[in-house]
Homo-oligomer: A and B are copies of this chain.
Amino acid sequence: MYAKEYVADRFRELQDDICRQLEQADGAGKFREDEWLRPEGGGGRSRVIEGAVIEKGGVMFSAVHGPLPEKIALSMQLPPTDFFATGVSIVLHPHSPMAPIIHMNVRYFETGAGRWWFGGGIDLTPHYVIPDDARYFHKQLKEVCDRFDPGFYSAFKTQADDYFYLRHRQETRGVGGIFFDYLDERSGHSQEELFAFANAVGRAFAPTYVELLRRSVDRPWSDREKRWQMLRRGRYVEFNLVWDRGTKFGLETNGRVESILMSMPPEAQWVYNFTPEPESPEAQTLAWLRKDVSWV
């Protein structure tokens, strides 16, 4: 069993490694870092980039501890207890509407009562769904999952479809990915194995996204695609503020607002009742934004 400090140290290294790869891929932008302390215990390292390829992106590390907020204790049916949580959380908004938004999170949680678990996931939100990119993305995730458990990909892909879903729009946020939570020894895996899995998910993130950015470079776009990107970013805002449990939890428990809301796009638009023309690329994208598409 790894000590929680060990897990936190590896996640901190993961943040370093991802930032290095993203700066290299961007070519121009550099991450700015803010270190912050949480009054109740622990803190984090927030890193934000405004680059040539990545318009706005955050790669956040945190390791916090203290009494478990009552609201979570209740929702988890736990008695009052201390907790420890560490993780890396990422959202990247590219300049090009032909490149996808991406999100990744890996986290480890321990309570004073001796319970521990991992959670996290990666999901992809293309402004325009390009099936070949979606297949490539899911293939990378499946390969990571299959190295640890033949059941992981299918289970976590389904959970991502359910989680990254805008119920009020009846749309998925994008082409999904994987999502897992409360992953503990009941999975048949030890803490060490599950840490290796979470870490492998984290390590797969940068090369996968860098490849997707590379593919997008040659795709031309004009005002039309930019306008559509702004509307899709509006949907991203709606998901994060209305449905995302992590965001809601953070805002309701006095988390560091600027770190939580680093997921917001640099700019978003809302147009009343916008409906794309039938058969247009925008309408085709909407048709892909549903659950249970099999990408691999």
Residues of A within 8 A of B (CB): 34, 48, 56, 58, 167-169, 230, 234, 237-238, 241-242, 248, 251-252, 254, 257-258, 260-262, 264-273
Asked whether B257 lies within 8 Å of A261 as measured between CB atoms, the reply is: no
Contact of A168 among B237, B251, B269, B270 (CB under 8 A): B251
Q: Which residues from B are CB-within-8-Å of A273?
A: 34, 48, 258
Task: Report chain B residues within 8 Å CB of A265.
Answer: 270
B264 A234 Cβ-Cβ under 8 A: yes
CB distance from A45 to the nearest CB of B (A): 14
Which residue of B is nearest A58, CB measured?
Answer: B272
Q: With A and B bound together, what is the CA distance between A16 and B271 in angstroms? A: 23
Q: For the complex formed by this chain, how many copies does it contain in all?
A: 2
Of all chain B residues, which has the CB nearest A241?
Answer: B241
> Closest B-chain residue to A237, C-beta based?
B237
Interchain CB contact under 8 A, A267 and B230 = yes
Pick the most buried of A257, A268, A272: most chain B CB atoms within 10 A of its CB.
A272
Of B230, B241, B248, B262, the contact of A272 (CB 8 Å cutoff): B262
| A48 pairs with B237, CB closer than 8 A | no
A56-B270, A167-B251 given; name 20 further pairs at CB < 8 Å. A34-B273, A48-B272, A168-B251, A168-B252, A168-B260, A169-B257, A230-B267, A237-B268, A241-B242, A242-B242, A242-B251, A258-B272, A258-B273, A261-B270, A265-B270, A266-B269, A266-B271, A267-B267, A267-B269, A268-B268
Residues of B contacting A48 in the complex (Cβ-Cβ under 8 angstroms)? 272-273
| Bound Cα distance A169, B251 (Å) | 9
Report how far A262 CA is from B261 CA in the complex, Å.
22
User: Complex Cα distance A237/B268, Å?
Assistant: 10
> Given the complex, which residues of B lie within 8 Å of A254, measured CB to CB?
168
